[in-house]
Amino acid sequence: MSPLVAAVAISPALRMQTTSGVLLRHFQESGQPDRIVVGGPTGDVYGFDTRTGRHAWTLPGGGAPVRDVCRVQGRVFWFEKDSDQVRCVTPTFEPISISMSENGLPGNVTALDEWRGQLIVQTDQGVLAMDPKSLKVRTAKEVFTADVAKILEQGPCKFLWRGDQGLIVSFRHYGRYENPPETDGVRDITLVNAWSCDKAGHHTFLGGYAASITDYRPTEGPRVFRKQGDTIIDLPHGHSDLENVTVGPEGVVAVLKSKVLTIPFAKSGWKGGETLDMRVTPNYAPGTSLASSSVWFPSGNRWVMGSLEDGDCTVLAPQKSSIRQLVADESGAFALTDAGVSRLDPDDESSLKKIGVVAYELGSVDNLNSDQRRLREAMKKSLAGKNLKGVLKAAKLNAAVKKMAKPLNVASLEYGDLVLDGKETKLYVGDGMVASITNGFPTGPLVIGSDTRFARILAPDATDSAYAVAAGAGLLGYIAPIGINHPLAPGASYARAVPGASFDRPYLPGHFALEALIPDWIGTPYVWGGTSKGDGCDCSGFVQGVFREMSIGLPRHSQDIGRARRGMIVTGDLHYGDVLVFPSPRHVAIYIGNGQTAEAVRGGVGYSSISRRRLAVVRRFIL
């Protein structure tokens, strides 16, 4: 996908406004153009074509920073900081502003959402709805059932409408903990309630969940009453911007002090919330973005892509310009930086270099190729007086010694890469740590400056991803991902689809069984940690569940499926039923021929294409 940086060079004024943008949104609606939208610091809003990066339009603002943007039925609405006005334009781009206070809802606007073709406007004191064409304003009780409207008016809400169904989530201040669940964490109690809604407007209550998510500030909105035993407790209306909370069709994700809270949504109702430790402390990070099994959040000047499977993290450290906001999707993210908007794909070295980002993983350091393992073992031995060349020779890595004269510059760090900072050279040893090239190789945390460079002297061992494996317990070691339909490097192995070939369609009994089983899973909603057909599953739960029905046992997590100690590793033509394991963002899918896959993504279990995939570990379990 083309980077959007070039789009902001149309004029100096446009470049200045866009590169100092304060808000990023990505709008995808059926029947409407795909648009990346940047909110500017003086209220202007800029739209760009997602495919080409070309500037589409500029909407004039009122002078203050843009706080939120929403598109409903093709019309763009936004509001600015500390304002009760919702803004839009006429078809001839004449500005319009609608005061919420004059329409009976006092307070500053805090959020905009789409709901059943209506614009939902929230202030810190309540909720209104607006028709996007006539701009007629309606009360919450005119849009929602009376019981739902009453709760929605008592605190901030999140709305999500996709296709012909939606999800409403309310967050109400419900008291205060004497001792917060997390040390030095927020003390306010949040009662989370959720409803699903069909296209006819019928609401179904999914359940409630109490948690420590955010602190509330008192406002003048409707008070909250709760029953505790025989006592009615009267609480003031509390408001929060919920910047550390995101809602998707999968459910709710809240980035807490040291953990991430997930409350999954399934057809049978909400499942119990679970907290997951992240390798990077989230610390209530604002501006989170969700894409299926990954949550993205800022940490200092870095951004983190955290796995909701196991808490492992990919850290994205900018060197050229800061990343202000990210909008994530299934294969990466759009990033708003000081240079404009660019496409960021964590598994694409060229994408990282264009945007000036260095990526490294925090998690298991055991997934090493043979060269990396030899280097690690050599470093564990007595190294007094040895320099890096001496260690490489001791590890019998003579090819790496030769490459030190002309190493490969990289932006995605792996074990054994060189970290060059001025005259000092260190060795990256995984998990965000480096070893100083001195006696004993003492280790310390990786520090990345604007002038730090990174180079690779170890080459992936081709034999690590080209052998068959006998069935057995446990997991394999390192398996190198290979290119999909194109090699990652000249002469490298790659997996390719061959539509029309005999092996591109079912030809073994297991293939025909798989072909019969997959349709029963189609439409199952995406649920983190789910393994249930019909009720809810995640990507690995779907793959594991389908193969379990064929009496083929696979591990639970996506990356573990790639290292399963059964089947074979594929480095050539894709066969029907092969399993593709994508490393970043973490995902897994089943190849079903003709370049198509069956997989669970945030819309649920469905069909997709490998054309948008770059690399994967490919496994064959039907033999």
In the Cβ-directed half-sphere of 93, how many Cα atoms lie within 13 Å?
Answer: 9
Burial 234-248 (b: 16+ CB within 10 A, else e): ebebbbbebebbbbb
Report residue 383's pLDDT band, with 50, 70 and 90 as the boundaries: low
What is the CATH classification number for the domain harbouring 476? Answer: 3.90.1720.10
249: in domain: no
- 466 with 607, same domain: the answer is yes
What is the model's pLDDT at position 130? Answer: 97
What is the rounded CA–CA span in Å between residue 133 and residue 73? 8
Task: Give the 3-state secondary structure of 591-605.
Answer: ECCCCEEEEEECCEE
Q: Give yes or no: residues 610 and 495 share one domain.
A: yes
Residue recorded with tokens 């999800």 = 167
Q: What is each CA distance from 178 to 167, 181, 183, in whole angstroms?
A: 32, 9, 12
Residues 514 and 555 in one domain: yes
pLDDT tens track for 482-500: 999 998 888 888 999 999 9
CA distance 72 to 248: 18
Residue 19 pLDDT = 55
* Lowest-confidence pick of 191-200, 218-227, 448-457: 218-227
- 441 lies in the same domain as 467: no
Cα–Cα distance for residue pair 12/291, rounded to 1 Å: 34
DSSP-assigned letter for residue 525:
P
- CA-based R_g, the chain, Å: 26
Confirm whether 315 is domain-assigned.
Answer: no
Q: Are residues 4 and 67 in the same domain?
A: yes
Residue 340 has what pLDDT? 83
Position of tokens 């006092």? 106
**pLDDT of the residue at 462:** 42
Residue where the block lists tokens 């030095």: 184
The predicted model gives 48-72 an average pLDDT of: 90
Q: Averaging pLDDT over each range in 122-136, 139-153, 176-190, 239-253, which range is the top one?
A: 122-136
- pLDDT band, very low/low/confident/very high, at 382 (cuts 50, 70, 90): low
**Interval 294-317 mean pLDDT:** 92
Instruction: Give me the mean pLDDT over the 68-78 stretch.
Output: 95
Asked if the model's pLDDT at residue 3 lies above 50, the reply is no
Residue 278 located in a structural domain:
no
Q: Hey, which residues does 23 pair with through a beta bridge?
A: 39
- Total number of domains constituting the chain: 3
User: Looking at the domain assignment, is residue 607 inside a domain?
Assistant: yes
Domain shared by 533 and 567, yes or no: yes
Calculate mean pLDDT across residues 282-310. Answer: 91
Instruction: State residue 4's pLDDT score.
Output: 41
The pLDDT-based confidence of 18 (bands split at 50, 70, 90) is low
**In a shared domain, residues 466 and 452:** no
Does the residue 358 lie in any domain? no
Which range in 50-54, 228-232, 246-250, 305-309 is most confidently predicted, on average pLDDT? 305-309
Average pLDDT for residues 351-379, to the nearest whole number? 84
C-alpha 161, offset from chain centre: 19
Residues 591-616 have pLDDT tens digits of 999 999 999 987 789 999 998 788 99
Q: How many helices (H) and strands (E) does the chain have?
A: 10, 49
Percent of the chain at pLDDT > 70 equals 92
- Residue 472 pLDDT exceeds 60: no
Nearest residue to 253 via CA among 279, 275, 270, 238: 275
pLDDT at 2 over 60: no
What residue type is 250 in one-letter code?
E
Structure token digits, residue 476: 């394999």
| CA dist., res. 525 & res. 265, Å (int) | 8
Backbone angles phi, psi at 24, to 5 degrees: -130, 135
pLDDT band at 436 (very low <50, low <70, confident <90, very high): confident
Average pLDDT on 526-555 reads 90
Domain boundary among 414, 437, 456: 456
Please, what is the angle between helix 539-548 and helix 509-521, to 10°?
130
Beta bridge partners, 337, equal 323, 340
Compute the distance between CA of residue 504 and CA of residue 35 in angstroms, rounded to an integer: 36
Same domain, 602 and 585: yes
Which pLDDT belongs to residue 314? 92
Q: Which residue has the higher pLDDT, 98 or 310?
A: 98
**What does the mean pLDDT of the chain come to?**
86
Residue 1 has pLDDT above 70, yes or no: no
Q: SS3 string of 246-304?
A: EEECCEEEEECCCEEEEEEEECCEECCCEEEECCCCCCCCCCCEEECCEEEEEECCEEE
Cβ atoms of 488 and 494 closer than 8 Å: yes
Residue 379: DSSP 8-state: H
Looking at residue 574, its pLDDT comes to 96
* Residues making up the chain, counted from first to last: 623
Residue 606 lies in a domain: yes
SS3 at position 402: helix
469 and 603 within one domain: yes
CB 45 within 8 A of CB 58: yes
Residue 401 shares a structural domain with residue 526: no
| 8 Å CB contact between 483 and 495 | yes
The residue among 307 and 385 whose pLDDT is bigger is 307
Mean pLDDT confidence for 507-536: 91
Domain end, chosen from 116, 136, 156, is at: 136
Say what percent of the chain tops pLDDT 90.
Answer: 45
Residue reference for tokens 């000081």: 338
pLDDT in tens, 408-431: 888 999 899 999 988 888 999 989
Q: With contact defined as beta carbons under 8 Å apart, do 452 and 428 qualify? A: no
- Condensed to tens digits (0 to 9), the pLDDT of residues 34-50 reads 899 999 999 999 998 88
Domain assignment present for 398: yes
Shared domain for 475 and 606, answered yes or no, is yes
Give the contacts of 200 (CB within 8 A, at least 6 positions apart): none
Q: What is the CATH number of the domain that holds 125?
A: 2.130.10.10
386 and 480 housed in the same domain: no
Phi, psi of 521 (to 5 degrees): -90, -20
pLDDT at 368: 79
C-alpha dihedral sign at 121, 127, 132, 135: negative
Q: Which residue has the tokens 């407007």?
A: 201
Q: Is residue 58 part of a domain?
A: yes
Looking at residue 268, its pLDDT comes to 63
List the structure tokens of 540. Answer: 């690995």
Which residues does 599 contact at the CB level (< 8 Å), separation at least 6?
A: 539, 542, 543, 587, 588, 589, 590, 605, 606, 608
Question: Pick the residue with more confidence: 512 or 166?
Answer: 512
Residue 468 pLDDT > 50, yes or no?
A: no
Q: Which 8-state DSSP code applies to residue 439?
A: T
d(Cα 442, Cα 426) in Å, to the nearest integer? 10
Average the pLDDT over each of 382-391, 499-508, 532-541, 557-566 and give the range with the smallest value.
382-391
Residue 563: which domain range?
462-620
Q: Give every strand in the sheet of 418-421, ordered side by side.
A: 408-409, 453-456, 418-421, 424-428, 433-436, 443-445
Domain boundary residue, one of 104, 136, 168? 136
Tell me what pLDDT residue 385 has: 60
